[in-house]
Structure 1
């Protein structure tokens, strides 16, 4: 997806607040600009989101620098909390360099932070971008992240791409943490039921609006209302009708309205469910951006 086409128009505000439970505010599309001079500082990103009812954000780390950035940003902004981890696609390279154990130790240290560090993630398995030779390292990293989440009573945020069965197998082997979020849920209705049976929250991104995503819509229909979350994974996975443009938290209303239609409930009810669910999923409320 190109991130060079500029920001989409701001949608109509939601009738009640919601939380973007997975965002990457440190991506170059925000912090350094992209071709054409696109630039959106953190303050502006948060203000634009709050103006349409997205009043809180979970900033997610994918490696050591971004995890540290998430912790620092959450400490600086009351409406932001942090998730820290090594992305599964980071694990094979770190293992090859003999640095995986050390990096995991640093994630453990970051996860021990204060109230503004709420989650360990995004961790998990990714068989799309990493081949068979990298799976052993991914599994080892995933298992240790689960242990870190339990050790510090943090929410586990799972990245699962083309690895549904193995993700469940590892979770069953290690034991599911008290709070688990399936980031950018990518399975079907059957997999949704399997995750819910294990106590997980399912987080739907802009992909649920894509024309070819019948599996996600089927999954949403069978997910109990008290287990539904919403996210951007910004600056990626921009919802229709802006697919192909950069994503941001202020576009969440498009996804929420679409989800409400699929679930057959009012937008207001969907917003209130998402907001309440996010508090439970991430261990309690935190300050809204107003």
Structure 2
């Protein structure tokens, strides 16, 4: 087997001189233990992570993990693709992004029950955000729109009532996500996870005070619209994330991602902004602490 197999973790990058946070990761989907992941991240200058839940089990795990580790903060939610699965049993690729299996739908009452558990978890001190929630028109068809929107609106209300940040998943749904945020009134701290809009949308988000979190795909050759968005986003609203184990930055695209690879993305972001990596890191560190209130 080649040492460059897609299953081989990329090498540890040179550490950042100014520590930063990974604002969105899924440690439960990565190989190895949480302790190993945090230790390796710290060696790269990534000293804080936000562990994001996507369904009830994952959200409970996020809260439990954050309770055990002071440098882990939890976000809890039903992923947009989870809501129609709960209501209809739709065989869409859902929250954990593993192969989805069709399961019997439980109807609106089942969704209400799941949202009640997210509400309970959102009240815990170690839970700093409600998300990832939002809309996904890529994996869920028109039949799932109503369930997604109802779930999204409920998550917005939960975040505001608990005074927590809102973490947005927006895939092929920019206009509808912005519309619902405007209709419901966004929480004081709203984060567009894995920002996927263009420069025009970045200006709209900036006007609303929304944080924009950039992932490893900002390094991809075909991602010039993302780099254009990063170039115009106010520096005080910019975050960085891995969304690990997904979206591994170039030149390691296709191999497993993890929080320790954040420096690769930070350096690419600094180049886009025309600033040095320490200045980029300082902004990211300050912004992430403000966004998640830690």
Q: 1:234 aligned to 2:249?
A: no
Q: Helix, strand or coil: the match of 2:81?
A: helix
Distance in 2, matches of 1:110 and 1:6, equals 35
Q: 1:105 aligned to 2:116?
A: yes
Shift of the alpha carbon at 1:93?
1.3
Instruction: Give unpaired runs (5+ residues) of structure 2.
Output: 89-105
Shift of the alpha carbon at 1:206?
0.1
Q: 1:184 aligned to 2:194?
A: yes
Give aligned pairs, total. 271
Runs of 4 or more consecutive aligned structure 1 residues displaced over 4 Å after TM superposition: none
Q: 1:25 aligned to 2:27?
A: yes
Q: Helix, strand or coil: the match of 1:26?
A: helix
Q: Helix, strand or coil: the match of 2:18?
A: coil
Distance in 1, matches of 2:121 and 2:242, equals 24
Q: Residue in 2 aligned with 1:118?
A: 128
Matches of residues 50-199 of structure 1 in structure 2 within 5 Å?
50-96=42-88, 97-98=106-107, 99-114=110-125, 116-199=126-209
Q: Helix, strand or coil: the match of 1:143?
A: helix
Shift of the alpha carbon at 1:15?
1.3
Distance in 1, matches of 2:193 and 2:8, equals 26
Instruction: Give unpaired runs (5+ residues) of structure 1.
Output: 31-39, 285-290
Q: 1:221 aligned to 2:223?
A: no
Q: Which of 246, 252, 256 does residue 266 from structure 2 map onto?
A: 256
**1:42-83: CA deviation from partner (whole Å, max 9, x where unpaired):** 101000000110000000000000000000000000000100
Distance in 2, matches of 1:10 and 1:212, equals 25
Q: Residue in 2 aligned with 1:288?
A: none
Q: 1:272 aligned to 2:282?
A: yes
Q: Residue in 2 aligned with 1:11?
A: 13
Q: Residue in 2 aligned with 1:33?
A: none
TM-score, normalised on structure 1?
0.92
What value does the CA root-mean-square deviation take over the aligned residues? 0.9
Distance in 1, matches of 2:19 and 2:13, equals 14
Shift of the alpha carbon at 1:4?
5.4
Distance in 2, matches of 1:110 and 1:41, equals 23
Distance in 1, matches of 2:147 and 2:269, equals 36
Distance in 1, matches of 2:242 and 2:139, equals 20
Shift of the alpha carbon at 1:197?
1.2
